[in-house]
Structure 1
Amino acid sequence: MHNEDFASAAMVRLLVRAMAAQGLALPPGLPAPAALVGSHVPLDCKRSVVQAVLAQGGPALLLQLARQVHLLRDDPVYRALMGASDVPGLLARWQRLERYVHSAHQVSVRAQSLHSPYSLHLQHHARAGTGGTPQPPESLAVLGVLLGTCEALGVPGMAVHLGEPGGSDRPSLPLVPGADQATELAKAIAQGHASHWTLHWQPGAAAHAPAGHGEQNPQATLCDALPWPPLAHRIARRVLHDPAGEHPVDELALSLGQARRTLQRHLATHGLSCRSIATEARTRAAAQWLLDTPHGIAEIGFACGFADQPHFTREFARQVGMTPARYRQAFGHP
């Protein structure tokens, strides 16, 4: 967790909340909880939190705490990750997060099983040109968040092996509650395998509907007052259920029972397109986050599906007439 970005800040928030929930000692001098909600947490603070976890329970405790992603349920990053419908979809969103924050480290797919589409070998490694191989605690924290999100999504039959695929005596990480992970993690760290993971899961749909996909999602109605045709409103609601999703035109057309060209022609008669509807929906969702929460602007832009912070700032200003920062300063959360 090198960079002072919202992804590592969210990781710190997660660890601090999980430590507090388990009655663990927090490091002295930790900023007030409100200060941990923004996009930037000092590097010394991040290190002190990780060291406090390691001192009280070692790598196994760090992995356990990082899996408690439900403690971030009100965070934009959590909502964005929970929009995934399967493990590959979750990895795609995690990789977009890494690109968004220009992370020095990244998770890459190194191999997929020839025998099963439900197995992936991943490596957490330095991004080309950045140097700085991730330390075992950093890799285990990322692994914990990915596993915890898979669990929250209800992915069936999750299992993890640490180390290079095909290697002998690869540690198998027990994921059942109360399992003793310390021995396997110590072996993996000693062998230099903490950053190599093979995930296995069983076929079947996730048991848990992604966050924000229920009928009670208040953001789903943000475009309802616009004078749009019914098909446009259905597209907007679909985007607002999961602003972080890509929502390609072919997928939207299929969900609406329309041919792609038919949908495009219908929208064009009203001066609309799938892209313009999605941008309007994402902008309104972002505006709601800016008004109602103290979360960082970059974090909100990621959760609302913008490619990067400049793209968010540019599109928001084009739609609203002012930048996200000016909008928040004028109308929203200080």
Structure 2
Amino acid sequence: MHVGVRTGAWVGGLSATLVAVALVSSAVGPVTIGVGSVADIALAALLGGTSDAPTTHRTIVLSIRMPRIALGAVVGFALAAAGTVMQGFFRNPMADPSIVGVSAGAATGAVAAIVAPVSVPFGLPAAAFAGALLAAFGVYLIASEGGRTPVETLLLAGIAVQTFLGAVVSFLLVNAGRDLREAIYWLMGHLHDSTWTEATVAAAVVVPGFFALLAYARDLNVLLLGEEDAHSLGIEVERTKRLLLAVSSLLTAAAVAVAGVIGFVGLVVPHVMRLLVGPDHRILLPTSALAGAAFLVATDTIARSGTAEVPVGIVTAAVGAPFFLYLLRNREVNAP
């Protein structure tokens, strides 16, 4: 089957799955609302019509649950897309979106903003976003020499910067005082108190970034053959690497800035989709992104369904880690 047809079929199916998960998630909560009623409220809002649902139900769905679901979908989409690219970029099945220090930089910026006695312009998300990009840029500068950025050096630099920033975060937590609870909650990853503004701002960064990565999906396929072979086939290797690294870091920074550190989405989801659709990034990238969106919405629904809400990062780790070990045990985790 032609790759375009396969991609369209998979994208259509996963998009329908995402919509179904979002509708079910919108119906779940302390106040139970029927899925049919949720669909009616959502369609009325999209088409500018009116719904027969009670005002309370409309408020719950449109102002509380759907903003959280939209933000979860954007964050999961970004993390899975970035994870797919990073695994292909490093040709390493253990690579994830945070491998170049983005999450550690965001954590440093966010915790510093929480602990600092002065207010931060544009709030905590801006501090996390700035910290993420600064960390990624620092790793790139450390690893680059003579106009080249060896992948191995980049990986080692990322590990070193992550370790250093982890120590900085630990120091800030020790001295956090009354702000310790808020800082730890952010570090666990959460979608609590999400707003349409946050979802819209995150999507404004993630969607253009995703299409930029998708435009380079063929080049990423060629890079899997090795840099020398890619160069001989006409790929501008260093320029392509810089772009893939920069955009993937941007997507990860946008996700972490609004939701905290959420693990395993960018690690496990690309593996699962690679088993299902194969290694061709022209189909793997969009399917992983949509699967990541559906996965995070589903896990966040679980996170807020108990008697006490837990950070979604705990649920993704609890679900993702055993599944990844299962894949590893059954030798399903292979290099891209």
Larger helix proportion of the pair: 2
Smaller-chain TM-score range?
A: under 0.3
If the length of structure 2 is used for normalisation, what is the TM-score? 0.23
Tell me: higher relative CO, structure 1 or 2? Use CA pairs within 8 A at least 6 residues apart.
2
Q: More strand per residue: 1 or 2?
A: 1
